[in-house]
Amino acid sequence: MHTAPHSSIELNYIDQIIDLALEEDLGLGDISTSVLNVPQATAQAELTAKEAGFISGIFVAQLVASKVDPEVQFEALVTDGSPISKGDLLIRLKGNATSLLGMERTMLNFLQRMSGIATTTAQYVQAVGPHKTVIVDTRKTAPGMRYIDKMAVRHGGGTNHRIDLSSMVMLKDNHVRLIQESGKSFEQIIEQARRSLPLSTRIEVETTNLKEVERALKAGVDVIMLDNMTLEEMKQAVSLINGECMVEASGNMTLDRIPQVAAIGVDYISVGALTHSIKAFDISMNFI
């Protein structure tokens, strides 16, 4: 299980996002706490899960705390990617009361969104059952939150698809229209991509029917996406491909469809719902 960023690039990105989040929340200062006139008061706080699921955001929450006040004691009682029950204590904090109140909302925003993503992802992963199919995310993330959203997917047991447009070649319907207008054949475009890009660059093509599957197969792509196909169409496509390349199922991949789609034998199921319309996980922070 990945409990930290994959790379220094990811860490730097997350660092910047936390800075922006704190800036937008703290503004010119917490005037609600300042009117109490207790700048030296200390306090202890606990963050508690109000529902069962999978936790994500502990790593990010610790960074939030250290940025607001390095003197605050941060004790994580669970690790990212862990299953949790309703009522579980997640984090204990001790330090300046003003600092704790200043970090509360930003910390909770990250924890609740990330844990919501991790919990939903875990449900999809579990729905695959005994099959080999891997649940992958998409680029349908909250603007500016991609690295954080994708980290949460990993904490839920999912796998990250491409991080951005430079990660791999993925030719979708609008690309195909441009190819047709260019006067070049589909095979010529794939061959051109092979010559001009590093050998490690994967090429994926979106298909919506068996004719398009045959064309992609003939061109020798690495991954064929079956987009918005019926179960019967996907079965026929997987039979036609016959292991010659990887197969990704996509489009309307609701939780109840996952067992049936996985049983067909696709390698990947991509799910936009992991990140694009997530329900925040219920977590509270209370002084004790």
Q: 230: pLDDT confidence band, cut at 50, 70 and 90?
A: very high
Interval 130-140: pLDDT, tens: 999 999 999 99
Q: Is the pLDDT of residue 216 over 90?
A: yes
Q: Which of 67, 92, 94, 105 is catalytic?
A: 105
pLDDT tens track for 41-100: 999 999 999 999 999 999 999 999 999 999 999 999 999 999 999 999 999 999 999 999
User: Both tokens of residue 99?
Assistant: 């600092």
Strands 169-171 and 203-207: parallel
Determine the pLDDT at residue 5.
59
The question of whether 105 is a catalytic residue gets the answer yes
Active site residue 15: no
- 67, 92, 94, 140: which is the annotated catalytic residue? 140
| Banded model confidence at residue 1, pLDDT cuts 50, 70, 90 | very low
Write down how long the chain is: 288
pLDDT above 90: residue 3: no
Sheet of 169-171, strands arranged across: 134-136, 268-270, 246-250, 223-227, 203-207, 169-171
**Of 159, 210, 164, 206, the residue nearest 186 (C-alpha):** 206
**Burial 140-171, CB ≥16 within 10 A → b, else e:** ebeeebbbbbbbbbbbbbbebbbbeeeebbbb
Give the chain's mean pLDDT.
94
Rg (CA), the chain: 23
- Note the pLDDT tens digit of each residue in 13-49: 999 999 999 999 998 888 898 898 888 899 999 999 9
For 109, the 3-state DSSP assignment is helix
172 belongs to the catalytic site: yes
Distance CA 57, CA 156 (A): 11
8-23 tens-digit pLDDT: 888 999 999 999 999 9
CA distance 180 to 161: 27
For residue 53, the Cα-to-chain-centroid distance in whole angstroms is 16
6 has a pLDDT exceeding 70: no
Q: Find the catalytic residue in 149, 212, 227, 267.
A: 227
Tell me which residue of 81, 75, 76 sits closest to 56, measured CA to CA.
Answer: 81
Task: Establish whether 227 is a catalytic residue.
Answer: yes
- The structure's pTM equals 0.94
Annotated catalytic residue: which of 137, 206, 248, 267? 206
By percentage, how much of the chain surpasses pLDDT 90?
85
Write down the pLDDT at residue 114.
Answer: 98
- Find the catalytic residue in 50, 86, 172, 279: 172
Q: Which domains does the chain have, with CATH numbers?
A: 8-119+279-287 (3.90.1170.20), 126-274 (3.20.20.70)
For the question of residue 244 being annotated catalytic, the response is no
User: In the chain, which residue ranges form alpha helices assigned H by DSSP?
Assistant: 8-26, 31-34, 58-68, 97-127, 146-155, 173-182, 186-196, 210-219, 231-241, 258-264
